[in-house]
Amino acid sequence: MFDPVSIGGFDVWIMIAREIIEVLKQNGVMPSKKLGQNFLCDANVARWIVDQLDPQPEDTVVEVGPGTGALTEHLVGRVKRVILVEFDARLAEYLTDKFSDRDDVEVHQFDGARFDVRNLYKHAPIKFLGNLPYSAGGAIMRNFMKGPTPVVRAVLMLQKEFIDRIVAKHKTKTYGVLSLRMQSEWESKPVKTVPPEAFHPRPLIDSTVMTCVPSVNSEVYDKRLFDELVRRGFSQRRKQVKKQFPDTANWEEVSASLGLPVTARAEEISLDQWIKITQAFDDHPLKSIPQSAGELLDVVDENDEVVRQEKRSVVHAEKMIHRAVHILVFNKKKEVLLQKRSVLKDNFPGHWDTSAAGHMGAGESYDSCADRELKEELGIDAELQHIAHVRPCGNTGWEHIGLYVARHDGALRFPCSEVEHTLWFGMDQLNDWISARPEDFATGFLECWKVFDEKFRKYGD
């Protein structure tokens, strides 16, 4: 159980409350219920909350909803960079003026629920801090913390009832979609209750401070399918889940294997069981095949002439020159799709990579391999354009690479054994990220992107 915090120093609290009221008055801010504006007035609580973030000199911290800077004041100077995201334009202007003499603080006047988190990857890993507005806390958390995300630790304060739902256990009334979404990606721990009198104006309910770190889960599963099944299961909470699920698996067999009654309802199913249900209902043919060590590849020379055939495992172990394709997929916004490689991959697990890529099988052509990989890895059937040949080197894994581009704006479907996440990036965003953190990427992708970027800069569209 966590302990309620005591408000320290009543005289100090009165002084800080008066200062905050004066700041709000000077900037023409009348606290808004609609925006969930309740400003923390207790310096001891503010300092304690910031300490839970474990701020380190090399950290980048994003604080959403800084208000008058009650938390920010205890953070600035302790970390490398502080990024403030404030929705209220008047408060954003006040914060910009307040920290105008500091190069390590940047202020964005923006809705935290719509802030472009992709711009943060160049600063990763990110720590996330916020006294979040009650009205939009869930949307802000989803924007910053739904995978994929550069956030590695979060300390958040929200209404107690909301956090109770996040940490709820199965077979309880508060357990639901929010509980499973958060628990599948984060280990969340309520650590303090903060009473209404710590704020101006006073809310009607208690607040809770919660710490979050990424969950350690060895199971690999399709996270999009997980979310779909959970939403289906809880869409009619009192009905049996078997009536809500698709027909891609036999529910009687699945429920029996998990020790669940056929008549189970959503709230009776634990997180671990939901994950196993997702695995059972995943009908992707490659869901359990991250790579095939026995795959037969053409071994080639420096001129890309076939020498002989060898198993994939031997080719990699002995660093033989072989062939592969990489495909860069762009959408109508001219954003490029990146994939985050599954932790099951034998090379660069968990790294970001080309939209789709793969080895050419023995006797396979570059064009046919590119078409196959695009369909297998992303579920895309699109026109491909060959734009370059990338020479073999250590960074490509000694591969001759046929580099292709394709256009796609629709849905994606990828095997969870190979791809953990996908995300679209603007070219400037990606170049900034690569420049700041090349270690986040598979080296083969970096070689391909360098070739593509040079061609793009030279020839444009």
Query: Residues spanned by CATH 3.90.79.10 within the chain?
Result: 296-459
Structure tokens at 460: 């444009």
Instruction: Say if strands 105-109 and 399-407 run parallel, antiparallel, or are unpaired.
Output: unpaired
Give the domain 296-459 fold.
Nucleoside Triphosphate Pyrophosphohydrolase (3.90.79)
Q: What angle do CA 434, 438, 444 make, to 5 degrees?
A: 95
- The percent of residues in the chain predicted with pLDDT above 90, rounded, is 83
Backbone angles phi, psi at 170, to 5 degrees: -65, 155
| Residue 304: partners with Cβ closer than 8 Å, 6 or more residues away | 323, 400
Hey, which residues does 388 pair with through a beta bridge?
A: 403
Asked if 360 and 325 touch (Cβ cutoff 8 Å), the reply is yes
What is the rounded radius of gyration, in angstroms, for the C-alpha atoms of the chain?
A: 26
Asked if 53 and 209 touch (Cβ cutoff 8 Å), the reply is no
Asked if 324 and 360 touch (Cβ cutoff 8 Å), the reply is yes
User: What is the architecture, at CATH level 2, of domain 3-214?
Assistant: 3-Layer(aba) Sandwich (3.40)
Give residue 3's Cα distance to chain centre: 31
Residue with tokens 């953190």: 437
Asked if 401 and 448 touch (Cβ cutoff 8 Å), the reply is yes
d(CA 458, CA 461): 9
5-42 pLDDT, tens digit per residue, is 444 454 444 446 678 778 878 888 787 777 778 888 88
d(CA 206, CA 197): 9
1 pLDDT higher than 70:
no
304-330 pLDDT, tens digit per residue, is 999 999 999 999 999 999 999 999 999
Single out the residue of 217, 168, 174, 205 nearest to residue 190, CA to CA: 168
With bands split at pLDDT 50, 70 and 90, how would you rate the model's confidence at 460? low
With bands split at pLDDT 50, 70 and 90, how would you rate the model's confidence at 461? low
Structure tokens at 379: 């579920």
242 pLDDT higher than 50:
yes
Sign of CA dihedral 339, 345, 347, 351: positive
d(CA 458, CA 455): 5
Backbone angles phi, psi at 328, to 5 degrees: -100, 120
Give residue 12's Cα distance to chain centre: 40
Query: Residues spanned by CATH 1.10.8.100 within the chain?
Result: 223-281
Half-sphere exposure of 446 (CA within 13 A, CB side): 18
- CB count in 10 Å sphere of residue 288: 13
Structure tokens at 241: 């889940």
- CB count in 10 Å sphere of residue 401: 24
Which of 143-147, 203-207, 227-231, 447-451 has the lowest average pLDDT? 203-207
3-class DSSP state of 383: coil
Please compute the mean of the pLDDT values over residues 440-461 and round it to a whole number: 89
Asked if 321 and 399 touch (Cβ cutoff 8 Å), the reply is yes
63-120 pLDDT, tens digit per residue, is 999 999 999 999 999 999 999 999 999 999 999 999 999 999 999 999 999 999 999 9
d(CA 326, CA 451): 12
d(CA 217, CA 179): 16
Please compute the mean of the pLDDT values over residues 380-408 and round it to a whole number: 97
Which pLDDT does position 6 carry in this prediction? 47
SS3 string of 7-60? CCCHHHHHHHHHHHHHHHHHCCCCCCCCCCCCEECCHHHHHHHHHCCCCCCCCE
Q: Is 218 exposed, middle or buried (0-12, 13-18, 19+ CB in 10 A)?
A: exposed
d(CA 67, CA 21): 12
Asked if 417 and 286 touch (Cβ cutoff 8 Å), the reply is yes
The counts of H helices and E strands in the chain are 13, 19
In our burial notation (b when 16+ CB lie closer than 10 A, e otherwise), range 306-345 reads: eeeebebeebbeeebbbbbbbbbbbeeeebbbbbbbbebb
184-232 pLDDT, tens digit per residue, is 999 999 999 999 988 888 888 999 999 999 998 779 999 999 999 999 9
With bands split at pLDDT 50, 70 and 90, how would you rate the model's confidence at 181? very high
Which pLDDT does position 268 carry in this prediction? 97
Asked if 213 and 152 touch (Cβ cutoff 8 Å), the reply is yes
d(CA 9, CA 40): 14
Please compute the mean of the pLDDT values over residues 359-366 and round it to a whole number: 96
249-263 pLDDT, tens digit per residue, is 999 999 999 999 999
Q: What is the pTM of this model?
A: 0.92
Please compute the mean of the pLDDT values over residues 145-165 and round it to a whole number: 97
d(CA 306, CA 366): 13
What CATH number does domain 223-281 carry, 3.30.1050.10, 1.10.8.100, 3.50.50.60, 1.10.10.10?
1.10.8.100
Please compute the mean of the pLDDT values over residues 272-288 and round it to a whole number: 96
With bands split at pLDDT 50, 70 and 90, how would you rate the model's confidence at 2? very low
Please compute the mean of the pLDDT values over residues 423-450 and round it to a whole number: 98
d(CA 248, CA 206): 44
289-299 pLDDT, tens digit per residue, is 888 878 899 99
3 pLDDT higher than 50:
no
Query: Residues spanned by CATH 3.40.50.150 within the chain?
Result: 3-214
